[in-house]
Chain A
Amino acid sequence: MIGLPFLYAIAGLLFAGWAGLTLVDRANPKRFGSAIFWGLLAVSFLFGDRLGDLGNGILVLALVAIAGTGKLGRGSPPTSAPDEREASSRRHGNRLFLPALIVPATALIGSLALAHLTIDKVPLVEAKQVTLVSLGLGTIIAIAVILIWLRPPLLAPLHEGRRLVEAVGWAIILPQMLASLGAVFAAAGVGQIIGGLASAVIPDGVRFIAVIAFTLGMAGFTMVMGNAFAAFPVMMAAIGLPVLVGQLHGDPAIVAAVGMLAGFCGTLLTPMAANFNIVPAALLELDDRNAVIKAQVATALPLLAFNTLLIWGLAFR
């Protein structure tokens, strides 16, 4: 059965390759710190399951120490010059879009077909991981096609990948770090405390205020946790079920479904949702780390108001 270990092996080898190339890149003023950073990520992907919890924790502390003290730098991986790119773009024309479609197409076919493939009644791909495994397969196919068609140097996939991963920098592990912070917050009981506080501030029986407290609570707690999934059980247990459904007889399907979407509005407003808001700012080389959030505010706030009105207007018919 193909699952996450397959994907982690690819990722581990990739990061190991980037670590090696970084170590010999004299153009990077911080090549030792940077090589250790990418090397530790390779270790995490390849051997993470054998390190033990404390071992993984120490690995994280080392990653944070390198990035937090500014020991992670950028080198100059070899790539094509601007005029070479213009020439290549004219020579290959719109056919250049085709390899870009391989990964999405594999994801599409994979999610439709891979889930049903079995060998001796054992599913070929772990059902929960079909999307990620398809992504891995698509990547391999796309690299092979590009190598055969465009004939770049054999090391070019590693060099070009390193160029991009260096552009993103430490932000590359921020989403994973925030997911882990969520786990520690859960162990510390942060959710229950917030839920207790939220349910204490609502006056009895005032429908509109209770709805506002629920949707604002969903958006606000999502902003804190970076993830509507973490906020949903807390706010539903604090306000949604006992007040909106229990006391005020709201329709649980509307309260729950639209409440989750109110949380998504919060996701658009917070740096804690790093993979949606902070990573793209790095990937698109924006000077302002919060530029993507600023571009989302004017959509997220009216939409939050819409969701509030939707519950208020339709859940209590």
Chain B
Amino acid sequence: MSLWPLIGIAIVILGFALRLNPLLVVVAAALASGVAAGLAPLAVVAAFGKAFNTNRYVSAPWIILPVIGLLERAGLRERARDVIAGTAAATTGRLLLAYLLLRQLTSAVGLTAIGGHAQTVRPLLAPMAEAAAARTDPAITDAGRQRIRALAAATDNIGMFFGEDIFLAVASILLIKGFLEANGIIIAPLQLSVWAIPTAIAAFGIHGVRLWRLDKRLARQ
């Protein structure tokens, strides 16, 4: 078996490491791997175009942006900030921990669409977390604020990833079930989803300890 089709992976790793424009890197990787596997360049372009067209649903959720923009225009982020600034018990760590728990629980019952980076993190969670951090550490720098925002996004990801697999009908459980079935192993979705629970608890524990220590660190500064 020829190893040359792997050249696309090398291009992706190198391109991201050199911080080239990722769109150029992706197209170059597709062309290289496709041609190395014996496809004609135009056939690779057509295969990419076909996949791009079928995958439009990936970009469709951007239609929510006007809603978020309108609410920001009306002062939603300022409101989110002030609510937290007026609640002394709401530290950054506790706030993110509560969000983590909520995100895991709602994802576990199949409601992944409730949260998300455009829906909740940018208009609500990030300004709240920043406001709480600025109260604990009034001298917080812009870099420090950016780290808090990044952590808010990270908390949303972790909450969703390690909650959704507890839900029976989520895509990944159905994929596992289908794959095992194709190989002659019949397993009910429930048998799979219960095994998502230990990791969900571990994710809450590990990320929770980090958030708790964040509060300590902010208070020390």
**A→B interface (CB under 8 Å):** 4, 7-8, 10-11, 14, 41, 44-45, 48-49, 51-61, 63-64, 67-68, 79-80, 84-90, 92-94, 96-97, 99-100, 102-104, 107-108, 111, 129, 131-132, 134-136, 138-139, 142-143, 146, 150, 152, 156-165, 170-185, 187-190, 192-194, 196, 224, 228-229, 232-233, 236, 241, 245, 252-254, 256-258, 260-261, 264, 267-268, 271-272, 274-281, 283-284, 286-289, 291-292, 294-296, 298-299, 302-303, 306-307, 310
Report how many A-B pairs have Cβ atoms within 8 Å.
409
Q: Can you name the residue of chain B whose Cβ is closest to the Cβ of A194?
A: B6
Q: Can you name the residue of chain A whose Cβ is closest to the Cβ of B23?
A: A64
- Chain B min CB distance to A138 (Å): 8
CB atoms of A268 and B51 under 8 A apart: no
The 8 Å CB contact of B67, one of A51, A139, A177, is A139
- State the CA gap A252–B195 with chains docked (Å): 11
Given the interface pairs A64-B23, A68-B24, A185-B8, the reply to whether A284 lies near B47 with Cβ below 8 Å is no
With A85-B77, A158-B66, A257-B165 known, 17 other A-B pairs at CB within 8 A are A11-B62, A51-B49, A54-B46, A56-B49, A57-B46, A79-B69, A100-B71, A103-B64, A138-B64, A150-B74, A164-B69, A187-B34, A264-B161, A284-B150, A286-B149, A288-B150, A296-B157
Main secondary structure of the interface of A (DSSP, over half): helix
Q: Can you name the residue of chain B whose Cβ is closest to the Cβ of A241?
A: B183
The 8 Å CB contact of A58, one of B49, B150, B187, B206, is B49
CB within 8 Å of A: which B72-97 residues: 72-80, 82-83
- State the CA gap A274–B39 with chains docked (Å): 27
- State the CA gap A112–B183 with chains docked (Å): 33
21 chain-A/chain-B pairs, Cβ below 8 angstroms: A41-B59, A53-B47, A60-B49, A68-B24, A85-B74, A90-B75, A103-B64, A103-B67, A132-B61, A135-B64, A139-B63, A146-B74, A177-B26, A181-B30, A182-B51, A183-B47, A233-B175, A256-B192, A258-B199, A284-B122, A284-B126
Q: Can you name the residue of chain B whose Cβ is closest to the Cβ of A287?
A: B146
What residues on A are CB-neighbors of B171 within 8 Å?
Answer: 229
- Chain B min CB distance to A51 (Å): 7
- State the CA gap A93–B74 with chains docked (Å): 11
CB atoms of B60 and A94 under 8 A apart: no
- Chain B min CB distance to A260 (Å): 5
CB atoms of B74 and A256 under 8 A apart: no
CB atoms of A180 and B52 under 8 A apart: yes
